[in-house]
Amino acid sequence: MTAKEVIRESENKMKKALEAARRSFAEIRTGRANPHMVEGLHIDYFGTPTVMKSLAQITVPDARLIVIQPWDASIIPEIEKAIQKSNLGVAPFNDGKVIRLQIPQLTQERREELRKVVKTMAEDGRVSLRTIRRDSNEAIKKLETDKAIPEDDRFKSQEEIQKLTDKFMNELENILKEKEKELVEL
């Protein structure tokens, strides 16, 4: 493995870590309807756990309403069960064809709890990025001790890895700020 391959691999891992953080942020209910809140729920579809987005059309007609229209109306009870089991804190309303989720306003207390949860999630993302940086730096050091690269290349490679880490940390901070802003909006 070359230094460039290590850097490329660490960039790919950092992208995946950031995407994972972005997905977990999207699942946090902010008082605004968002299809990501229900897309990943697993529904028991004839004995097979299947994600909601592959079983139904999910739309957001306004800021406080999610409409779920299953392709097969016979699975509406299963969808309702999955929504009730999730900790969305929203009761499904079903008219036989579609399920409506009315998203209530968040209380100030709940907003504060969610801000703490979001900050913890961001810290988990930071830890992932730092772990990737550490592993990459160790791989670069090993290349140097194996005489695959000179000392100067090690320093340059570690510098590049640090720049990547800083870039992804900044993106994570921006995602965190955006989510906190959503939580504060009434």
pLDDT of residue 104: 81
pLDDT of residue 84: 86
The β-bridge partners of 76 are none
Specify if 170 maps to a domain.
Answer: yes
- pLDDT (average), residues 44-60: 89
pTM of the model: 0.71
CATH number reported for the structural domain that contains residue 125 in this entry: 1.10.132.20
Specify if 96 maps to a domain.
Answer: yes
pLDDT in tens, 67-77: 999 998 899 99
Give the tokens for residue 75.
């699975």
Which one has a higher pLDDT value, 159 or 32?
159
What is the residue range of 167's domain? 3-26+107-184
pLDDT of residue 112: 85
Same-domain pairing of 112 and 174: yes
pLDDT of residue 186: 55
Same-domain pairing of 98 and 116: no
Specify if 88 maps to a domain.
Answer: yes
How many structural domains are present in the chain?
2
Angle at 124 between CA 1 and CA 181, to 5 degrees: 125
Specify if 124 maps to a domain.
Answer: yes
The answer on pLDDT for 44 being more than 60 is: yes
Domain boundary among 83, 102, 121: 102
In the numeric block, the tokens 């309702």 are attached to: 80
Same-domain pairing of 93 and 41: yes
User: Residue 103 in contact with residue 68, Cβ under 8 Å?
Assistant: no
| pLDDT band (50, 70, 90) for residue 85 | confident
pLDDT in tens, 127-183: 999 999 999 999 999 999 999 999 999 999 999 999 999 999 999 999 999 988 888
The answer on pLDDT for 64 being more than 60 is: yes
pLDDT in tens, 91-140: 899 998 999 998 888 788 878 888 888 899 999 999 999 999 999 999 99
CA pair distance 3, 23, nearest whole angstrom: 30
CA pair distance 46, 54, nearest whole angstrom: 14
Closest to 8 in 3D by CA, of 125, 145, 150, 140: 140
CATH number reported for the structural domain that contains residue 87 in this entry: 3.30.1360.40
